[in-house]
């Protein structure tokens, strides 16, 4: 018996990176997984490797409420119910405060913050009808402390932590636990430009970008490296299974010690 045996979970942003790692781990732990993303080819490939008895891919634009409803409907029609959600989809933009276009700010908020809100709004009533369940919202290290050039991203992720706490209070007596993951620097296409190049996205100087990125984080993070998507997936598993049965409304930091402080040596 796996830790998620008999469960059905929907993971947004599941075509690659953390979301794909979460989908794979959840399936290995016995869950049936609905993978949502706008990267249809990549998402369908991840689901196909897991098998139709274990996984379903759906097109999911997290900014759109009808898209969420369609994804939740597909989960119930295919697997009979849905009792877990991982709000993983997100985007990252670097810019100074004064140079950030309002359109860019709104784009980040729309995907990261509004997308998370719509996921909870859509799935919470279904989780209650299913008899309870779990919601894991992906926030960030940047939600808990400052980091230059991340005004839009930090604002959206801090909002996710706030919404998580409110939702946990509203849903606790209905059998639904709501927690937030706060990853630090994780080696995915979103945070590591070299990985983006590896994934087929255009990037000049991929090897230089990889070297520079690794060196940058090695100086900042006490453990001396970026994290791996699988390490975040294991934290998401903890918050989605009975191991965390008395945990709700909490931000779980997965950052190699970055939030604890930065070494000056």
Residue 174 sits in a domain of what CATH number?
3.40.50.720
**Per the structure block, which two tokens stand in for 161?**
């932590």
Residue 148: inside a domain, yes or no? yes
Residue 263: inside a domain, yes or no? no
Residue 135: inside a domain, yes or no? yes
Alpha-carbon gap, residue 210 to 28, rounded angstroms: 30
pLDDT score at 217 = 78
Could you tell me which of 55, 16, 8 has the C-alpha nearest to residue 37?
16
80-86-92 Cα angle (round to 5): 145
SS3 (DSSP) at 47: helix
Catalytic residues: 153
Which run of H or of E encompasses 174?
none
Residue 205: inside a domain, yes or no? no
pTM, rounded to two decimals: 0.91
Average pLDDT along the chain, 265 residues, taken 10 residues at a time: 95 97 98 98 98 98 98 98 98 95 97 98 98 98 94 98 98 98 91 44 45 76 93 98 98 95 75
Buried b or exposed e, range 53-73, using 16+ CB within 10 angstroms: ebbbbbebbbbeeebbebbbe
pLDDT score at 135 = 99
Which run of H or of E encompasses 82?
none
Question: Domain span at residue 47?
Answer: 8-191+226-254
pLDDT score at 181 = 98
pLDDT tens per residue, range 87-128: 999 999 999 999 999 999 999 999 999 999 999 999 999 999
Alpha-carbon gap, residue 13 to 89, rounded angstroms: 4
Alpha-carbon gap, residue 209 to 212, rounded angstroms: 5
Number of domains in the chain: 1
């Amino acid at each position: 018996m796996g830790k998620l045996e008999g469960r059905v979970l929907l993971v947004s942003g599941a075509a690659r990176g953390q979301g794909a790692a979460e989908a794979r781990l959840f399936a290995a732990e016995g869950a049936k997984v609905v993978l949502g993303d706008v990267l249809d080819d990549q998402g369908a490939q991840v689901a196909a490797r897991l098998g139709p008895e274990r996984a379903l891919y759906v097109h999911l634009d997290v900014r759109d409420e009808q898209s969420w409803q369609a994804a939740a409907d597909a989960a119930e029609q295919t697997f009979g119910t849905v009792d877990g959600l991982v709000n993983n989809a997100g985007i990252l933009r670097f810019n100074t405060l004064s140079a950030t276009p309002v359109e860019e700010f709104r784009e980040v908020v729309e995907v990261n913050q509004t997308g998370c809100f719509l996921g909870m709004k859509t799935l919470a009533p279904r989780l209650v009808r299913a008899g309870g369940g779990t919601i894991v919202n992906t926030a960030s290290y940047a939600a808990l402390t400052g980091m230059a050039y991340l005004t839009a991203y930090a604002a959206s992720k801090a909002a996710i932590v706030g919404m998580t706490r409110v939702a946990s209070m509203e849903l606790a007596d209905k059998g639904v636990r709501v927690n937030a993951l706060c990853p630090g620097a994780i080696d995915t296409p979103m945070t590591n430009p070299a990985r983006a190049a590896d994934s087929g996205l255009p990037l000049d100087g991929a090897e230089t970008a990889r070297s520079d990125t690794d060196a940058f984080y090695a100086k900042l993070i006490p453990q001396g490296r970026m994290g791996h998507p699988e390490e975040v997936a294991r934290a998401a598993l903890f918050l989605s299974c009975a191991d965390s049965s008395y945990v709700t409304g909490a931000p779980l930091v997965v950052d190699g010690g970055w939030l604890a402080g930065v070494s000056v040596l």
